[in-house]
Amino acid sequence: MDKQSQLALLRGLKSGTLNKNQQLQAIRALKSNAPNEDVADLMGSLAFTSLNTGKDLKMLVDERAGRDRKNFDYESGGDGKLRSLMSFGETQGDRESILRSLVGETGYIKDKAGRLALTPEGQKIRGMEPSQKNIVIEDEGFSMRDISDLAGI
Amino acid sequence: MAREPLRSYQNQLMNYGIGRAFADNKPVTRGQMALAELPEDPTTYLDNLKRLKMAGGISRVDELVPNDIFEATEAVTGAGGITPSSSYMQMDYGTGRFAPDGTPLGEPGTKIIPEGPKMPVPLGASDEAIAQSMIAKKEENKMSAEEFRANEAKIADMQGMPTGDPVETAFIAGIDEFIKASRGAGPDAPKPKTIEEYKEIFSDATGLDVSGAVDKSQALMSFGLALMQNRAGKNFNVGKILSAVGKAGEAALPALEKAKASAKQAALAGGKFALEMQSADEAKRAAASEKAMERSDYFIVPKGGGISGTASAILNDKGRLEKLSKYEINQLLNNPEFAKNYDILDGAAYTEILSEVMKTPEAEELYDTKTPRKIELFGEGAGDLFTIEIWRALPNANVDGKLSGTGTDTYQALARAARDINKAKEQFITGMDLAEGVNIFRFGVDKLDSLASTLGFNMREGLTPTQQLKFILDKLQAQNAPAILGEAGKTISDADRARVAQIVGDLNAGSTADEITFKLNQLFNDIIIKKERDILNALQTLDRYTGKNVSGMLSPSQELSEEDEAERVEGLKSLGIEV
């Protein structure tokens, strides 16, 4: 295999865009230093790795935004009082400190994008009906809470 | 002692089969000796005779008879370990029109091997004397040769006689050998008199058209013909077998030879670059290295059966398309084992070759050769880039349809479409991310502007956020989709356009954000997801005709076994890639 092909396969592997089958074929080809003709189909397939991921638009948007809907609830939001208290923090660190002081270390968690969320334990402390998911405090839908945010209530 | 050099020359000639056997036991001429002493040059008539001898064309009747005229011709041109400087189509016969001993050619149609020594140099003369005598003889011949040319051309014009052109002379000599092998060389056997008669014999025997001036390949083929007849014996009608096979090879000959020659040129360039890669000049080294490694399509076809065999290999899918650099071609063609078994054809000429091969009788038995059938990979209305042409296999022919061309252009176009679809996908992701949270409190005009900009639009001023989203969606209607989708836009068919128009058409000025995001999702599914599936289907179709398995590599349903999965994970870890 020539150097360009080796580089292309390594980059493909590091990009994380190859499917499992492509990854396996690429690893085998690199280990055995397979001749170019044996990796021609694999090399050709690298141009099409973005296709057929089986993900719909919502999943892709979530992926991009670092949302984990399996473990986090992005719709419900925290209670209005909690949000208004947290709004006194000027930075993300300040807001996290306020939250920690209210629900403790185990009462909150962050998703991949750093959004603060109440764990079931934290939900309980805030007097909410505990959910199986972590509830992201800043919800993403429009609600009356937006008005409370604006009003600083 | 003085005769030793002569004996040495004689022995050399004898080794090449020239001398006693070829000149009917007459003494070897000094001109022949002089020529035999020269480095092997594939450009002379004499050389071809040598090759014919070496290929067993005169006496080795027990040898296997070549399959066709092309194989026979190759047996002659490649005989005896003489490596022609290039393919026989590139040979240059030179401009002189002399018999090997320096004598101007005599009566048209007569043998050019002289009956006896013409140069009055006594046996036992020194090498210097022989050389001086030859120079004098050549000078003397220069004048007479010019007169001879003028006369001969005049006569030939009037009578259709052979002109004495070296190519024509070689052609005649080959046919003479063929005639001799076919019917013996008895005194009663009449000889053809005109070049047209020679051509007729050649054409009858091989089925090849020799209208117009005799060319180099036909001259060489005449020796191949003689070789075949010699091996087959005089009671066997080689011509009858050849006429059918020859037609097939002839049809593909020009394109095939052109493609072979082009590959050889690439190999030569590869050799040159390899040398330049050793240059002391770093810039030159780098440039040569880059050029040597540039890859193009080449078709590797197994040899066997000469050109007709190559055509047959193409018809029966025995060839293989490879991306090769000039450096690699040079390496391959310099590998004797490879060069013996395979031909390399320039992939760019493949479509032309195939088109010519489809005109052969062999092709007619397997394919509908009237006209290739068009397959639109993305349905009616999509661009020509995505239309392939297939030669359909005849029922019961037991072969697959054959793609007209290599498919490389279509693979590349599909790759560009996939890349552009991915870009468009990113635009949708950005757009949806922006649109999802739209409301009067959270969705500023700047966000909509950035969405519009992402999709390549200039937003009209004075619109409310919802109106702006509506505007964006309007722009996504099919007539604009091709622009957004780039190359992938060319895959949009008339049916796609109608569907997209329908989705967007339901929106009105009062549409809510939820309605708009819903539509955006629908558009994504109808434009992006559908196009992705279309591209994968197109890849599968293309793979079917090219014999590749690009689409198979992309199948997410291809689950790995436990062992394979462990190997994958271990492999990634060993490369320092987080699993």
- The answer to whether B560 faces chain A, any CB pair under 8 Å, is yes
B35 in Cβ contact with B207 (< 8 Å): no
Let me know whether A34 and A89 are in one domain: no
Least CB-CB distance to A57: which of B524, B532, B548?
B524
pLDDT at A45: 87
pLDDT at B270: 80
Mark out the alpha helices in B277-295 (DSSP H runs): 282-293
- Residue B520: closest C-alpha in chain A: A57
Instruction: Work out the mean pLDDT of chain A and round it to a whole number.
Output: 83
Please name the residues in contact with A69: beta carbons below 8 A apart, sequence gap of 6 or more: A62
Least CB-CB distance to B568: which of A24, A44, A56?
A24
B308 in Cβ contact with B206 (< 8 Å): no
Interface with B, mutate which of A3, A7, A21 (most B CBs under 10 A): A21
Let me know whether A129 and A91 are in one domain: yes
- Into how many domains does chain A fold? 2
Mean of the pLDDT values across residues B345-355? 82
Mean of the pLDDT values across residues B382-395? 84
Q: In this structure, is residue A59 part of a structural domain?
A: no
Let me know whether A34 and A84 are in one domain: no
In order of B20, B44, B54, B63, B511, the CA distances from B230 in angstroms are 18, 22, 12, 9, 90
Lowest mean pLDDT among B78-82, B107-111, B178-182, B375-379: B107-111
Mean of the pLDDT values across residues B521-531? 80
- The answer to whether B538 faces chain A, any CB pair under 8 Å, is no
Distance CA(B423)–CA(B401), nearest Å, equals 35
| Residue A72 predicted with pLDDT over 90 | yes
Position B96, amino acid: G
Let me know whether A79 and A42 are in one domain: no
pLDDT at B86: 30
Let me know whether A132 and A79 are in one domain: yes
| Residue B3 predicted with pLDDT over 80 | no
Half-sphere exposure of B312 (CA within 13 A, CB side): 16
Give the range of the structural domain holding residue A84, as residue numbers without chain letter.
72-151
Joined together, the tokens standing for residue B253 give: 């000959």
| Residue B335 predicted with pLDDT over 70 | yes
Position B374, amino acid: K
Interface with B, mutate which of A52, A58, A74 (most B CBs under 10 A): A52
B513 confidence band (pLDDT: 50, 70, 90): low
Mean of the pLDDT values across residues A117-138? 91
Provide the percentage of residues in chain B whose pLDDT is more than 70: 48
Mean of the pLDDT values across residues B211-229? 75
- The answer to whether B269 faces chain A, any CB pair under 8 Å, is no
Q: What is the DSSP string of B120-174?
A: ---TT--HHHHHHHHHHHHHHHHHHHHHHHHHHHHHHHHH------HHHHHHHHH
Half-sphere exposure of A123 (CA within 13 A, CB side): 19
The larger pLDDT score, comparing residue B244 to residue B186, is at B186
Cβ of A8: how many Cβ atoms within 10 Å?
Answer: 17
| Residue B281 predicted with pLDDT over 60 | yes
Distance CA(A59)–CA(A61), nearest Å, equals 5
What's the gap in Å between the CA of A104 and the closest CA on chain B?
30
pLDDT at B518: 77
pTM of the model: 0.55
Mean of the pLDDT values across residues B140-164? 54
B75 in Cβ contact with B33 (< 8 Å): no
Mean of the pLDDT values across residues B10-26? 37
Rounded to 5 degrees, φ, ψ at A146 are -60, -40
Joined together, the tokens standing for residue B229 give: 């007849």
- Most confident option among A120-129, B379-388, B553-562: A120-129
Contact pairs from chain A to chain B, CB under 8 Å: 127
Position B175, amino acid: I
Let me know whether A87 and A42 are in one domain: no
* Crossing angle of helices B195-206 and B216-232, rounded to 10°: 60
pLDDT at A117: 93
Q: In this structure, is residue A99 part of a structural domain?
A: yes
Nearest Cα residue to B477 out of B501, B456, B457, B498: B501
Distance CA(A148)–CA(A139), nearest Å, equals 13
Mean of the pLDDT values across residues A64-81? 86
Q: In this structure, is residue A55 part of a structural domain?
A: no
B451 in Cβ contact with A152 (< 8 Å): no
pLDDT tens figures, B465-497: 666 666 666 666 544 555 555 665 666 666 666
- The answer to whether A23 faces chain B, any CB pair under 8 Å, is yes
A137 in Cβ contact with A82 (< 8 Å): yes
pLDDT tens figures, B61-95: 445 666 556 666 766 666 544 433 332 322 222 33
Lowest mean pLDDT among B44-58, B268-282, B498-512: B44-58
Distance CA(B419)–CA(B406), nearest Å, equals 22
Distance CA(A46)–CA(A12), nearest Å, equals 7
Distance CA(B568)–CA(A24), nearest Å, equals 5
| Residue B509 predicted with pLDDT over 90 | no
Distance CA(B478)–CA(B68), nearest Å, equals 58
Max CA-CA distance within chain B?
Answer: 117
Distance CA(B93)–CA(B578), nearest Å, equals 67
* Crossing angle of helices B530-546 and B408-436, rounded to 10°: 170
| Residue B395 predicted with pLDDT over 80 | yes
In order of A44, A53, A153, B181, B195, the CA distances from A82 in angstroms are 54, 39, 10, 109, 108
Joined together, the tokens standing for residue B421 give: 């679809």
Rounded to 5 degrees, φ, ψ at B373 are -90, 140
B306 in Cβ contact with B70 (< 8 Å): yes
Nearest Cα residue to B516 out of B469, B450, B471, B475: B469
Let me know whether A102 and A138 are in one domain: yes
Interface with A, mutate which of B296, B328, B329, B568 (most A CBs under 10 A): B568
Interface with B, mutate which of A57, A136, A147 (most B CBs under 10 A): A57
Mean of the pLDDT values across residues A92-115? 91
Q: In this structure, is residue A61 part of a structural domain?
A: no
Cβ of B575: how many Cβ atoms within 10 Å?
Answer: 14
A106 confidence band (pLDDT: 50, 70, 90): very high
Least CB-CB distance to A45: which of B554, B559, B571?
B554
8-state DSSP, B269: H
Half-sphere exposure of B149 (CA within 13 A, CB side): 11
Please name the residues in contact with B331: beta carbons below 8 A apart, sequence gap of 6 or more: B270
- Most confident option among A119-123, A126-130, B388-392, B412-416: A119-123
Mean of the pLDDT values across residues B227-240? 66
Instruction: Work out the mean pLDDT of chain B and round it to a whole number.
Output: 66
Joined together, the tokens standing for residue B177 give: 């050998």
B205 in Cβ contact with B225 (< 8 Å): yes
Position B462, amino acid: G
The larger pLDDT score, comparing residue B69 to residue B578, is at B578
Exposure b/e, B262-294, CB count within 10 A at least 16 = b: bbbebbebbbebbebbeeeeeeeeeebeebbbe
What's the gap in Å between the CA of B578 and the closest CA on chain A?
9
Let me know whether A29 and A76 are in one domain: no
Mean of the pLDDT values across residues B394-413? 84
Q: In this structure, is residue A92 part of a structural domain?
A: yes
B393 confidence band (pLDDT: 50, 70, 90): confident
Least CB-CB distance to A20: which of B415, B550, B568?
B568
| Residue A6 predicted with pLDDT over 50 | yes
Residue pointed to by tokens 């990634």: B572
Strand, helix or coil at A29?
Answer: helix
Let me know whether A76 and A44 are in one domain: no
Q: In this structure, is residue A63 part of a structural domain?
A: no
pLDDT at A98: 92
Let me know whether A81 and A133 are in one domain: yes
- The answer to whether B529 faces chain A, any CB pair under 8 Å, is yes
- Most confident option among A96-110, B2-16, B409-423: A96-110
- The answer to whether A17 faces chain B, any CB pair under 8 Å, is no
| Residue B314 predicted with pLDDT over 70 | yes
8-state DSSP, B374: E
In order of A4, B46, B132, B173, B226, the CA distances from B115 in angstroms are 64, 15, 23, 15, 21
- Most confident option among A73-87, B83-97, B174-188, B207-221: A73-87
B456 in Cβ contact with B487 (< 8 Å): no
Q: In this structure, is residue A57 part of a structural domain?
A: no
Beta strands in B287-425 (DSSP E): 295-302, 320-325, 342-346, 373-376, 387-391, 402-403
pLDDT tens figures, B537-558: 899 899 988 888 888 888 765 6
Residue pointed to by tokens 């058209």: B209
Least CB-CB distance to A27: which of B415, B429, B568?
B568
Question: Which pairing describes strands A134-136 and A116-118: parallel, antiparallel, or unpaired?
Answer: antiparallel
pLDDT at A87: 84
The larger pLDDT score, comparing residue B152 to residue B513, is at B513
Q: In this structure, is residue A81 part of a structural domain?
A: yes
- Most confident option among A110-119, B97-106, B255-264, B506-515: A110-119
The per-type count for chain A, helices as H runs and strands as E runs, is 8, 4
Residue B32, beta-bridge partner list? none
| Residue B35 predicted with pLDDT over 50 | no
Q: Chain A residues with CB inside 8 Å of B536's CB?
A: 48, 51-52
Q: Chain B residues with CB inside 8 Å of A14's CB?
A: 575, 577
Joined together, the tokens standing for residue B315 give: 């018809």
pLDDT tens figures, B453-472: 655 556 666 666 666 666 66
CA pseudo-torsion sign B94, B98, B104, B108: negative
Provide the percentage of residues in chain B whose pLDDT is more than 90: 0
Nearest Cα residue to B427 out of B511, B484, B465, B347: B484
B33 confidence band (pLDDT: 50, 70, 90): very low
Rounded to 5 degrees, φ, ψ at A136 are -70, 130
Let me know whether A80 and A120 are in one domain: yes
Cβ of A108: how many Cβ atoms within 10 Å?
Answer: 23
Let me know whether A42 and A110 are in one domain: no
Please name the residues in contact with B162: beta carbons below 8 A apart, sequence gap of 6 or more: B108, B109, B156, B168, B169, B172, B194, B195, B198
Q: Is residue B551 packed enough to be buried (19+ CB in 10 Å), middle (13-18) or exposed (0-12)?
A: buried
- The answer to whether A52 faces chain B, any CB pair under 8 Å, is yes
Residues B385/B387/B393/B399 CA torsion (nearest 10 deg): 50
